[in-house]
Amino acid sequence: MKDNLRGSVEEVDDLAGEVDVVRQLDRLRVEIEELRASRKQLVLAADADRRGIERDLHDGIHQHLVALAVNLQLLGVAVDSDPAAARNLVEELGRDVQRGLQETVLLAQRIHPATFETAGLGALLRSAAVDAGVPASVDVTAGRDCPPEVEMTVYLCWLAALAHATCDTRPTLSVREAEDALEFDIVGAAAGSDTDIERLRGRVEALGGRLTLSSGRDGRITASCSVPLS
């Protein structure tokens, strides 16, 4: 009887071991699928960034260059025959060049800000609002250095908000640390296009974070985000 009991116990132990192995394999499969999904999100976010840069180049700087080329041709015709018109064209050329320079600076900052490694996160975010010419409020209470990819995520979300902000909306940004994560809220700016939102959400989720949008009773949009610091 003891032998039978011992055999039963061994069978139960073997069965429990098999169940444990199955559970571990199931967890491993889930983790592999999550990893694949995360890698896909990274690729999709990078592709969306490239498409956005191409769109900004074509719709912004490229159009300014086309206008410059046309006005230069007109200037060549008017310089002798109509000096007054030529002077007006020179002034318009100056304005086109200035707008092109401003858009070039903004696009370069979006790709990688020149002060990213030297300035603190708060200074970088405030500088972005000044460059965009939008009245804004920035409050950063994060107490320690964040990973560059996390800081860049905050920065890109803030740039997207500033791009759709006006003097009337006066967007606000608050950044703080909470339980090994960096959290931030952007209030007051329009949400932007679905493409922009999905591009940013893809980047946030690829880093293991979460991005949500909500609308208050006053119609102001709030973008809330949490990104792990490790």
What does the pLDDT look like over 114-163, one tens digit per residue?
666 666 888 889 988 888 888 899 999 875 678 888 888 898 899 888 88
What is the model's pLDDT at position 224? 92
What is the model's pLDDT at position 207? 86
**116, amino acid identity:** F
Same domain, 222 and 118: yes
Task: Count the Cβ atoms, other than its own, within 10 Å of residue 83.
Answer: 10
- Tell how far CA 139 is from the center of its chain: 18
Q: Are 149 and 157 in contact (CB under 8 A)?
A: no
C-alpha separations of 121 from 142, 164, 196 in Å: 9, 21, 22
What does the pLDDT look like over 180-204, one tens digit per residue?
899 999 987 655 566 677 778 888 8
Reading the block at residue 128, the tokens are 């972005």
* Domain end position, chosen among 109, 135, 160: 109
CATH number, position 131: 3.30.565.10
Q: Does the pLDDT of residue 173 top 90, yes or no? A: yes
Same domain, 133 and 211: yes
What is the model's pLDDT at position 182? 92
Q: At 1, is the pLDDT very low, low, confident or very high (cuts 50, 70, 90)?
A: low
What does the pLDDT look like over 96-110, one tens digit per residue?
888 887 777 777 766
What is the model's pLDDT at position 139? 93
User: Which residues form the domain of 129?
Assistant: 114-228
- For the entire predicted model, the pTM comes to 0.62
Same domain, 124 and 203: yes
Q: Does the pLDDT of residue 169 top 70, yes or no? A: yes
Q: Are 102 and 61 in contact (CB under 8 A)?
A: no
Same domain, 78 and 15: yes
What percentage of the chain reaches a pLDDT higher than 70? 76
- Using DSSP's 3-state secondary structure scheme, residue 91 falls into helix
What does the pLDDT look like over 24-57, one tens digit per residue?
877 888 877 777 776 666 666 666 777 777 777 7
Same domain, 142 and 66: no
Q: Give me the residue label for tokens 């098999």.
A: 18
> Largest alpha-carbon pair distance within the chain?
119
Total structural domains in the chain? 2
What is the model's pLDDT at position 103? 78
Of 106, 114, 204, nearest to 150 by C-alpha is 204
What is the model's pLDDT at position 83? 83
Burial (Cβ within 10 Å: 0-12, 13-18, ≥19) of residue 160 = buried
pLDDT, mean of residues 17-24: 73
Of 185, 89, 93, 87, nearest to 137 by C-alpha is 185
Of 207, 193, 110, 190, nearest to 150 by C-alpha is 207
Q: Does the pLDDT of residue 174 top 90, yes or no? A: yes
Which DSSP category does 164 fall into?
Answer: T
DSSP 214-227: EE-TTS-EEEEEEE
Same domain, 119 and 216: yes
Same domain, 171 and 211: yes
Same domain, 170 and 91: no
